[in-house]
Amino acid sequence: DGPDGTWYGGDTVRYGNDSDLNIFFYGEKLDHDPVDQSYYADALSANTGLKSTHFGEQHIYRVEWYPGSKGYLRWYLDGEFLYALDNEALINGGIMPEEPMYILLNTAISSNWGFPAPCPPGCACDCYECGNEKCDCARTPGFCETLPAHY
């Protein structure tokens, strides 16, 4: 498999209500010059919409990591399920990592980290202003709700 983003098996990658596949790192071809340095991204990840409370209150993030052939990774925010990768997703014969490691949390501030998404058909994608109805088709649903009120 490859370019269509279906490298992992079945329903073994799951997303919670406020999370979705990060399309920019899953089956996305990254073109480079020279062309022999181009490749398809193979990084499973999820984007989770933040709420206004994330800008002024503390929250509890939890990851459950069970290694080995029956392993999984599961992410939670304030006890609510966000994202899971079960070992059955690794159809190439791999297993969840068993060696000691650490998690690096990143604020991921970037102009192209999960936004903007590819422009939908029939949308000019020439504005992203919150509050401007003409820009609605260009924004990811719920995007404006993730920004602090003063923006």
Q: What is the pLDDT of residues 102-116, one digit of tens each?
A: 777 766 665 555 555
In whole angstroms, give the CA distance from residue 111 to residue 18: 21
Positive or negative, the CA dihedral 125, 120, 136, 147 is negative
What's the pLDDT at 5?
Answer: 46
Tokens of 24: 């920019």
Q: From the CB of residue 92, how many other CB atoms can be counted at a distance below 10 Å? A: 8
Q: How many contiguous H segments (helices) and E segments (strands) does the chain have?
A: 0, 8
Q: Residue ranges of the domains in the chain? A: 1-110, 115-151
Residue 71 exposed, middle or buried by CB count within 10 Å (0-12, 13-18, 19+): middle
Phi, psi of 62 (to 5 degrees): -135, 135
CA angle 33, 34, 36 (to 5 degrees): 120
State how far Cα 112 lies from the chain centre: 12
In tens, the pLDDT along 74-125 reads: 999 999 999 998 877 776 666 777 888 777 776 666 555 555 567 888 988 8
H/E stretch holding 28 reads strand 26-30
What's the pLDDT band for 2 if we cut at 50, 70, 90?
very low
